[in-house]
Copies of this chain bind each other. A is one copy, B any other.
Amino acid sequence: MLENFETYVRGKGPVTEEELRLLIAKATVKKFRRRQLLVREGEVCQHKIFVSKGLIRIYRLKEDGTEVIMRFAAEDNWIVDHESYYHQTPTKYNIEAIEDSEVLLWTRENFESLMLVIPVMQALAEQLRVNSLHASQDRILMNISATSEEKYQDFVNTFPDIFRRVPLHMVASYLGVSRETLSRIRHAQLNQPKG
């Protein structure tokens, strides 16, 4: 379970054995069952979370009770509600395991102290922010300018590893279309697979 994280960090830049040991020493390792909540709406998102195994979603509940999925995070991805984490305010999101999962957690305090000591973590944190922003921009562009078919196709292309593991109704929620519509789109694409 920790091998994943080691491999991931080594892939990000030069890092010593000692640094790796420290990174892991400051983390908490946790397992979650399918459907178990990692963070509940109203709590403060205390940790940066690295998914070493499994699949996680972050979603929001609207007043009418419907779920809106903001993001999925599979192995080797980070998940956090930046707003709650940075300002230590209650989160509006729920973070939940879609599959049985294993994660590493760092408190903000621990994570920031690690960033001061371990060069590669600085760069990594910066990179994550830039990537987040970039991904958000692309998603906005898709949302406002693409047809439902294109949105679905883009999702499949962007997350080839994920789309088979996520129930279709969750993909629908992520894309902002009804599950019935998405079901029909997918059906149409099976008969006419051009993209």
Q: Which residues of A contact B (CB under 8 A)?
A: 60, 62, 66, 68, 70, 82-83, 86, 129-130, 132-134, 136-137, 139-141, 143-145, 173-176
In the docked arrangement, what's the CA distance between A83 and B134, Å?
7
Is there an interface contact between A144 and B83, defined as CB atoms closer than 8 Å? no
Chain B residue contacts of A132, Cβ below 8 A: 133
Number of copies: 2
Nearest to A135 among chain B residues (CB) is B136
* Interchain residue pairs with CB less than 8 A apart (19): A60-B141, A62-B145, A66-B145, A68-B141, A68-B144, A70-B137, A70-B141, A82-B134, A83-B137, A129-B129, A133-B133, A133-B136, A136-B137, A140-B143, A143-B143, A143-B176, A144-B174, A144-B176, A145-B176
Counting from the closest, the 8 A-B pairs by CB-CB distance are A144-B176, A136-B136, A143-B143, A68-B145, A83-B134, A129-B129, A82-B133, A86-B130
**Closest beta carbon of chain B to A50's beta carbon, Å:** 18
Closest to A144 in B: B176
Q: Is the CB of A140 within 8 A of B134?
A: no
Instruction: Please give, as numbers and ranges, the residues of chain B lying within 8 Å of A86 by CB-CB distance.
Output: 130
Describe A's contact surface by its main secondary structure: helix
CB contacts (< 8 Å) of A174 on chain B: these are: 144
List B contacts of A129 (CB < 8 A). 129, 133
Contact B144 A144 (CB under 8 A): no
Specify which chain B residues have a CB less than 8 angstroms from the CB of A82 in the assembled complex.
130, 133-134, 137
Cβ–Cβ < 8 Å partners of A62 in chain B:
145
In whole angstroms, how far apart are the Cα atoms of A136 and B136 in the complex? 6
Bound Cα distance from A175 to B141, whole angstroms = 10
Residues of B contacting A83 in the complex (Cβ-Cβ under 8 angstroms) = 130, 134, 137
Minimal beta-carbon separation of A137 from chain B (angstroms) = 7
Which of chain B's residues has its CB closest to A175's CB? B144
